[in-house]
Amino acid sequence: MSVYYYNGAQILAPFTITSNEPMFDADTVSLKKQRATQNAQRWEMSFSTVGTPDTVQDMLISAVANNQSTSTMIMPQLPAVSDKFTLENADTSSTTAVAVKSSASVGDSSIEVKTLNRSGTLPKGCFFKFSSHDKLYMTTSDTVFDGTTNPTINFYPSLRSNATTAHQVRLGDLALLTYYKSVDNMSGITFTDGILSNSGTIQLLEAL
C-alpha cells in the first residue's frame, strides 16, 4: 500500500473520500421518481495523521494559519487501485503523464489518449487530473494499454473544462488535490506529557 502525507505527516488508514454532488429528489403525483443535479461536484477527504517531532510545527501551523488559502497534496489512491496500476513505458516519457489524443469538451465523460508504446492497465477508481485545470477526476472502468491502440479513458464527474491535444492526463504523484481545509471542525494538536498524542481529524474540501 502506498504511503501518503499531509504537511509532512503520514496519513493514517482508514481515511474517508466522499463525492459531494448535490441532488434534488422528488416524487410526482403518480409516484414517479425525478432526480436532478446542477452538475456540481467536489471531492472531500477526512483522515488522521501520525506526527513525528520534526512535523509538529507544520501540523500546528496548518491548523491555525492560512485557512483562507488553497494548498495542494498528492491525492491518495485506493489501495486496490494502487495494486492494479501496471501502466509501464517502453519509451522515455513519463508513466505519470499521458498525452491527450482527441480533444474533449465540457460535459464529456470520456477521452482518447495516446498509447506511446505504453502497456498495462489504468484501473477503475484511479484519481487523475488534466493539465488544463485543477479538477480531480476518477476513472470509471479499467483502461488497457496494449502498446499500439490509443485507448479511451472513462471518468467521473463529467469534464469541467475543455481538454485538447495540447494537454495531458496526469496520474500518480502528478494527481494533486487542490484543497481548502475545512473550518467546520478546526482543531489543534493534543500533547500528553509534552509528547504529541493526537493531531485531530483533518477535513479537506476540493477547491473548485
**Among 3-7, 135-139, 145-149, 196-200, the least confident range:** 196-200
Q: Which three cell numbers stand for residue 156?
A: 467521473
Q: Phi first, then psi: what are they for 64, rounded to 5°?
A: -120, -20
Each residue's pLDDT tens digit, 42-98: 999 998 887 666 667 776 777 667 778 899 999 998 888 888 888 776 544 566 889
Kindly give the residue spans of alpha helices, DSSP state H, lying in the chain.
56-64, 79-84
Q: Report yes or no: 137 and 109 within 8 Å, Cβ to Cβ.
A: no
Query: In this predicted structure, what is the pLDDT of residue 52?
Result: 67
What are the tens digits of pLDDT across the range 109-144?
Answer: 999 999 888 888 999 999 999 999 999 999 999 999
> How much is the CA Rg of the chain, to the nearest whole Å?
20
Question: Hey, what's the cell of 170?
Answer: 496526469
pLDDT number for residue 92: 45
Specify the DSSP class assigned to residue 173.
G
* Spans of all domains in the chain: 1-75+177-208, 78-174
With respect to CATH, is domain 78-174 assigned 2.170.150.20?
Answer: no
Q: How far apart are CA 174 and CA 127, in angstroms?
A: 10
Would you put residue 100 in left (φ > 0), alpha (ψ -120 to 50) or beta? beta
Q: Give the global pTM.
A: 0.84
